[in-house]
Structure 1
Amino acid sequence: MNRKKKLNSILKKRAKKANAKNKITNKPRYVAKADRDEQDAAGQESVDEVS
């Protein structure tokens, strides 16, 4: 019985991970603080050029 239970739990975990990967989220991707600073600086430069 333990062997069957263990196999079933392993297969359920794999299925759960596969479903989680395929799930589409509305949450925006995380951008690191350093990358945000770089993007803001690049945005500032382009605004300065236009003005």
Structure 2
Amino acid sequence: MNRRKKIKQLLEAHAKKANAKLAPKKKSTYISKADRLKLAAEASQDSIVTPEPAGSDLIAETKDASQP
């Protein structure tokens, strides 16, 4: 290899490494199986608790009942 090619190759390698550091990470962080099970259990508990009647529904029902 001649001197220019070596220098060009080094500069390209450094630029490639710098761009790789700035680029967003493609892979998400690893979550263990136990942690995934905990998250799934919490999510299922949250979904069970949420279906409660809203206050506006109760007000609408009382208005309908009071009118003859």
Q: TM-score range by the shorter chain?
A: 0.5 to 0.7
Count of matched residue positions in the alignment of Structure 1 and Structure 2: 46
Provide structure 1 residue ranges, at least 5 long, that are not aligned to the other structure.
none
Whether 1:13 and 2:9 are equivalent positions in the alignment is: no
TM-score by structure 2 length? 0.46
Q: Structure 1 vs Structure 2: percent identity of aligned residues? A: 30
The normalised TM-score by structure 1 is 0.56
The structure where helix makes up a greater share of residues is 1
Report the Cα distance in structure 1 between the residues aligned to 2:43 and 2:5, rounded to whole angstroms: 62
Q: Name stretches of at least 5 consecutive residues in structure 2 with no aligned partner.
A: 49-68
Q: CA deviation at 1:42?
A: 2.3
Larger radius of gyration: 2
- What are the superposed Cα offsets for residues 10-32 of structure 1, whole Å, 9 maximum, x if unpaired? 1111111101110125x451415
CA root-mean-square deviation = 2.9
Which residue number in structure 2 is paired with residue 29 of structure 1?
28
